[in-house]
Every structure is written in structure tokens, then in C-alpha cells.
Structure 1
Amino acid sequence: MEEDQNFLEDDRNSLEDSPFSIEDDRPSIGQILQQARVDARLSVDDISNSTRVRVPIVHGIEQDDFSRCGGDVYARGHIRMIARAVGVDPEPLVERFDADHGGRPAPTPAAPLFEAERIRPERRSPNWTAAMVAAIVTVVGFVGFTVFGGEEDTGGKGKQAAEGPKPQKSGVKPTPSKPAPKPEPSDSAIAAAPLDKVTVRLSAIEDKSWISAKAHDGKLLFDGLLNKGDSKTFQDDEQIDLILGNAGAIELFVNGKKVEDEFEAGQVERLSYTQGDPEAG
């Protein structure tokens, strides 16, 4: 309790000593986030643990220093995550950041749609007709062999055997053939994807998620919200860099192969992919 009281007092002192409180009646983005954190009785370490944003970056943002963020796109994402963690509506802060930094970057059109589902092998249904015919042929052959084969072996006694009780119908039921096992999608899926490009497909299947995608030369391919049920596909000649704000809600296909990493809901992931079999960056 004493340590919590100390860091709250230090935060209040830093707010009082900030020059913005004297020169500008309107608090800055960093002041708003810092004051909300103090009011929520959270430390910078608490914010870092819940958002996965490193402690120096949180400190920098609270001092309105966004140079550690690595660019405007990342800064906007950090502001959103920190604002949600301290209970503040992030959109007014992001709009204000855009106004102070030249406006929101316009997203470029995504690459032509690459339907990963097309390369999934179709599941074959069992051939019941063939199974029934095979079973009937087997039963008839067994009965015929029993009757005629018995006559040949017993010689004169064959007639007596024929006049005896008729053989009962076999109770053998045709066994349905099992469906063919579904092949692993990795080899065929990667073979169907363009070998000279990196192809990434994102689908929000559990919940909405904020995503950012960049090409190898730093060109912004997309920056925004992917609602539940929506999908985006991106292509580049060399590399695609991703930031997933709610990674647990995303189903990810890279170069035609599903990425099986188990991301958690609310987890922020930074990933990079190149040509060939995908590996998390």
C-alpha cells in the first residue's frame, strides 16, 4: 500500500510540474492518459503488463514523446491500447494525434483476394453402392462354394447333402467404408500459393480486432478495425509485417497454410512473414 501511494504521489507531482498545465488550458494526450491511470490507481508496470507495450514507451507517451513508438501507425495503436486499459475512449485521442501529425494515413487497396479455402481438399463421401455390391458378391460366392464344393468332396453323398436343410441366409451386413483421411494441408496448400510472393490472409472469427499491415518497403497496406466475420488478404514480393491488436480473434493463413500458433484474446502480436513455409516473426 505504501509503494502504491508513493508512485501515485510521484505521478501527481509530475502532472503538476508539466508545462502544459500552465501554457495550455487543454490537457495533452499524454496528460489525459497519465491522469486516467493515476485515477485508476494503476502503475506504469500495470499498463505495460496488460497492453504488452514496453515501460519506456508508456513513459514516453505520457510525456507526449512518441519517438519510441516506431512510427505514427504504431503510436496510434499504443494510444488505443493504453486508453482502453485506463478506461478512456481512445477515438478522440487518436483523432487529436492525427490532427497533430498530418492526418490519418489513407489505407491502400489490398492485394487481389486469395481464397485459401480453394486449396483445401474436398472430403469424399463413402461409396455405399460399391460396398453393398461387394458384400452381396461375397455372400453369394460363399454360399455357392459351400453347396457345390460339398458335392464334389462327398461324391455320392452330395445328393443327400443337397436334400437336407437349406443353408440359412448369411447375416453378414456390409461394412461401410471409412472416409479417406483428410490430408495435411501444408504441402499442397503451399504449392498452390504463388511461390514468388508472400500471401497473408486474416479472418476475424471470434471477435473484432485492430490490425496493421505493411509491405517490405514500409508501405502501409492496411490500418484499421477488422470486424467479426470480415477478412483481408495482402501480398508482397518479399515480406509482410503485421500487428494484431486482438490476436486471439484472428484466423491466419500464410502462403496458403494455416498458422497454428495459439494467440490469446486481447493479446498484441507483431509478426513478419516471408515466402515459403510460414514462421512467426
Structure 2
Amino acid sequence: MSIGNSPEDERPFEDPSEEANISIGRALQQARIAAGLTVDDVSTATRVRIAIVHAIESDDFAPCGGDVYARGHIRTLARAVHLDPAPLMEQYDAAHGGRPAPTPAAPLFEAERIRPERRGPNWTAAMVAAIVAVVGFVGFTAFKGDGGGSKEQVAEGSTPATSPTASPTPKTDKTVDEKPEPSDSAIAAAPQDKVTVQVSATDGRSWISAKDHNGRLLFDGLLKQGDSQTFQDSEKINLVLGDAGAIDLFVNGKKIEDDFQPGAVERLTYTKGDPQVG
């Protein structure tokens, strides 16, 4: 079938025996034709490649690149042709072993909580040790003076005891102040007169599209796990995430903590005043 064909030209032969057990691809194709849309129309609206749309309508999910991407494409195509995606997702899960559990993100957040907590106890322990040493020194000096010396000796012994107390305190405070706060991303010093967005594929791979405020395409491609891209514009950045559950977002130096689900397609807009969804 060529791209230019009208939906009526590709209308399949209706077999009444197939109505009771219609496949995912057949359901999407019939809904598209009923909506008066061509494969090219659906591809343009969803940004799913024409070859993948054809493959899914033929119930061939291998070109999707895995179950997560297949589920995302099925959901996106179903919404584009005004079809409820829930029955199709249940049918796909039944045929392919169920929906994968979104567990990989938990260790990442746990590591971020533990990392800052390890620094604090070290400095606290140092301060406690210094205070204990000073108190012990003062107590020892006072006890020694009471045993065989005069009151003047006790007073003289207490003077050097108070000096070390004042000395470590500013050093400790200065050291704590010099420790930088953990940065949410490598772009924490993003300029305030622009919007800066960093996209990192931390839990898998995902297709990414980014445009500036004029609609100019900044990036359109696949991010493999471990890859990242940074986009900057004077007003706003428009994003489309093919698998939002695999992505970590940093906007103007702050991490976006939205609970994106694996396989979910998200369309987001960020401006200079964010982080918040536009």
C-alpha cells in the first residue's frame, strides 16, 4: 500500500468470523480507516515511523524494539485513532507475559538519599569529639588544681582550656560552609535568562524529540541507556518522550520528580520559570 492511498482504498474484506477474536493490529487498522485516516496521517500525528505503524497493524511488534516500546506505540496509536487502549494493552500483556514491573528507578533514588547523609555524621562526630576533649581537659585541670594548687593555678589552667574551644569551632563551621550542596545535575549553574533542559536515559533507551520556541527541531532520535542531551532556548523547550519511564529530567538545574510510567509517551513544555510542566 502506498502512502498516498485513501483509507477507503485499503479497507480490508470483512469476515464475520473474525469479529469475536480480532487482533491488536486489525483493531487499530479498522479504527484508523473508520476515522478516515491514512498511515501517513497517523505517523505524522504520533511521530511513530510509517514502517512501525505498518508492522503493528500486521501484528508484527519486533520492529518496536521490545515490549516497553511496543506497549507505548500501541497506546499512542490507539489514542490517535480514537480507540480505547486499555483492552488492547490487556490483550498484548496476555500474549507477551504481562506488563514489566517498574523497579529499576528505586535504587537510584535510594542512592541519592543515602549519599548526602554520609557526609553529615562525619562532621558531627568530629565536633562531638572536640567538645569531649575540651570538657575532659577542663575537668582534668580543675581536678589537679583542687588537689594541690591554689585557686590562681586553677584559673590559669582554665584560660588555655577555653582557647581550643573557640579555635576548632570556626574551622568546623568554615569547612562545613565550603562543602558544596549536592547538585541535582551537571547543569546546576544554568543561566537565569534562558531555559536549560537536560534529558538522560538512565533506565533504558527512549526516543526523544526537542524543539525551541520557534518550533525549530533541536533533536529527534534515540537515546541509548547512559546517553544524555542538553537543550537551551531563550523562552521555552518543547519535549516528546517516547518512553518517559526511562528518562531523568533536569530543568534549570533542578531534577523533575514526576512519576513517569515505563512505556508512557509524554509531551512536555518547560520555560525559564520552571521546573514545572508548562
TM normalised by structure 2 equals 0.51
Alignment pair present for 1:140 and 2:137: yes
The residue that corresponds to 2:48 in the other structure is: 76
The residue that corresponds to 2:61 in the other structure is: 88
The residue that corresponds to 1:240 in the other structure is: 237
Alignment pair present for 1:249 and 2:246: yes
Q: 2:35, 2:219 → 1: CA distance?
A: 23
Tell me the SS of whatever aligns to 1:76: coil
Map residues 8-47 of structure 1 onto 2, 5 A cutoff. Answer: 18-20=8-10, 38-40=22-24, 43-44=27-28
Which structure has greater helix proportion?
A: 2
Shift of 1:189: 9.5
Map residues 149-228 of structure 1 onto 2, 5 A cutoff. Answer: 149=146, 192-228=189-225
Tell me the SS of whatever aligns to 2:261: coil
Match for 2:255 among 254, 258, 262? 258
Taking only aligned residues, the RMSD between alpha carbons, in angstroms, comes to 4.6
Q: 2:51, 2:271 → 1: CA distance?
A: 29
Q: Is the 8 A contact 1:189 1:257 kept in 2?
A: no
Are residues 60 and 213 of structure 1, via their aligned partners in 2, closer, same or farther at CA, if it must alter by over 3 Å? Answer: farther
The residue that corresponds to 2:38 in the other structure is: 64
Match for 2:264 among 263, 267, 281? 267
* Percent identity for Structure 1 against Structure 2: 39
Q: Is the 8 A contact 1:203 1:252 kept in 2?
A: yes
Shift of 1:196: 1.3
Name the aligned partner's letter for residue 235 of structure 1.
Q
Match for 1:229 among 215, 219, 226? 226
Q: 2:61, 2:225 → 1: CA distance?
A: 23
Name the aligned partner's letter for residue 9 of structure 2.
P
Q: Is the 8 A contact 1:211 1:226 kept in 2?
A: yes
Aligned residues between the structures: 185
Name the aligned partner's letter for residue 76 of structure 1.
V
Deviation string 1:103-129 (CA, Å, 9 cap, x unpaired) is xxxxxxxxxxxxxxxxxx9x8573576
Answer with 1 or 2: which has the greater Rg.
Answer: 1
Q: 2:24, 2:212 → 1: CA distance?
A: 38
Q: 1:66, 1:183 → 2: CA distance?
A: 50
TM normalised by structure 1 equals 0.51
- Structure 2: 5+ residue stretches without partners: 1-6, 13-20, 65-115, 152-171
Q: 1:67, 1:87 → 2: CA distance?
A: 20
Q: 1:260, 1:82 → 2: CA distance?
A: 35
Q: 1:59, 1:81 → 2: CA distance?
A: 13
Q: Is the 8 A contact 2:40 2:50 kept in 1?
A: no
Q: 1:62, 1:258 → 2: CA distance?
A: 42
Are residues 75 and 238 of structure 1, via their aligned partners in 2, closer, same or farther at CA, if it must alter by over 3 Å? Answer: same
